Amino acid sequence: MTTMQRTGLMLACILLAVTFGAGLRAKRDARTAPPPAVTLPPDDPLPEPQSITQRCVSFARLVLAKQYHGADGQSNRLTGVKALTPGLWQVRGELTSHDGGRVTVYPYECLYSADAISVNIHPRMP
């Protein structure tokens, strides 16, 4: 066997080993792929008056974390904003929290005035 033939045989073996190794790695990666992550929808855009709705959403997230041991309202969906009187606003929405494999929806109602803000939150399992 000449040197050229040995070199060709050696390159063929290396190419075969690399191809075989890549195939095994692809098979292993496909078998151990992580499960798809749960994604939550982004927050809804805030309707007018934005400053009031933003304060209500922020306060609702704070109350949620205090009442439900650190639950975070990662996603917000507003269901209604209306002026009850010229100085009193009602904001309704849902905060969605993802904890491990469980998703919990927390409907909330916020009453906002220049003097005070209050939020009522109750969990609901989807």
Predicted local distance difference test score (pLDDT) of residue 34: 58
Show pLDDT as tens, one digit a residue, over the chain (126 residues).
Answer: 788 888 888 888 888 888 878 777 777 666 655 555 556 567 666 666 788 888 898 999 888 888 887 777 788 888 888 889 888 999 999 888 877 777 888 899 999 988 999 999 987 765
Predicted local distance difference test score (pLDDT) of residue 107: 92
Q: Name the residue ranges covered by the structural domains of the chain.
A: 1-33, 50-121
Beta-carbon-side half-sphere exposure of residue 11 (alpha carbons within 13 Å)? 6
pTM > 0.75: yes or no: no
Whether residue 112 contacts residue 55, with contact meaning beta carbons closer than 8 Å, is answered with yes
